[in-house]
Amino acid sequence: MDTTKTAAPTAPEADTAEPQATEATADLKDAPAAEAADAPEADLADADLEDELHDELEETEQRSEGVGAAASAVVAAGLGLVALSGSWVSRVIAERQTLVGQIESVNAATTEAKIEALYGDAWHMTALVNGVLSTLALLLAVFVLARPAFGAPGRTLPTWVRAVSWAAVALGALGVLLFGLMYFDILAPLPKAAA
């Protein structure tokens, strides 16, 4: 006699699949809880990423401002040096004024008028052009030094940029003083003709 039991033909065969469905349902119920548990980490990760991105943007802005300030400081110091040593532009303008003076000296009645036409106007133009370059150097250097005061708090210039800017201020101020005195014939007046 056979003692094994067979399933009834009317019994559903889904009994074996039922535990799997129950496990899948339990997994689906646990999924929102797991996502909720992971959500603070995701939010934290997003906040960290946002902070890092914000920090990188600030660093990029500081670098770009630092590059502009450094370039401006170097340009200001260069302008100050060029003005004190004599620029090519001032030389060309002085030579042109000398030529104009030679033309005008033909009609000059006195020796002093001839000296003024030949040399005085050219010297004044040289002093004027170099004085303008010195003024530009001075203004640019002062702008570089004053810029951090009007920017975001806590931002400062690198030490070497401040040093170059102060050197440009000194060169520019010296040039403005010297060329102002030369332009008004205080430092190097025109020679007088002997009677």
- The pLDDT tens digits for 64-88 are 667 888 999 999 999 999 999 989 9
**Lowest-confidence region among 62-66, 116-120, 149-153:** 62-66
130-150: buried (b, 16+ CB within 10 Å) or exposed (e) per residue?
A: bbbbbbbbbebbbebbebbee
Q: Does 27 score more than 60 pLDDT?
A: no
Percentage of the chain beyond pLDDT 90 is 44
Average pLDDT over residues 3-13: 58
Domain map (residue ranges) of the chain? 38-183
3-state helix, strand, coil in the chain (%, to 5): 80, 0, 20
pLDDT at 70: 92
| Chain mean position to CA 3 | 95
First to last CA, the chain: 159
Q: Does 94 score more than 60 pLDDT?
A: yes
- 157 — pLDDT class (breaks 50, 70, 90): confident
Cα 155 from Cα 106, distance rounded (Å): 62
pLDDT at 95: 94
pLDDT at 58: 64
- The pLDDT tens digits for 167-190 are 999 999 999 999 999 999 998 888
Q: Does 8 score more than 80 pLDDT?
A: no
- 108 — pLDDT class (breaks 50, 70, 90): confident
What is residue 24's DSSP assignment?
H
Average pLDDT over residues 76-103: 94
Question: What is residue 175's three-state secondary structure?
Answer: helix
Q: Mean pLDDT of all residues in the chain? A: 80
Cβ-count burial of 59 within 10 angstroms (0-12 exposed, 13-18 middle, 19+ buried)? Answer: exposed
CA atoms 26, 28, 31, 33: torsion sign: negative
pLDDT at 126: 94
- The pLDDT tens digits for 28-58 are 555 555 554 555 455 557 777 777 776 666 6
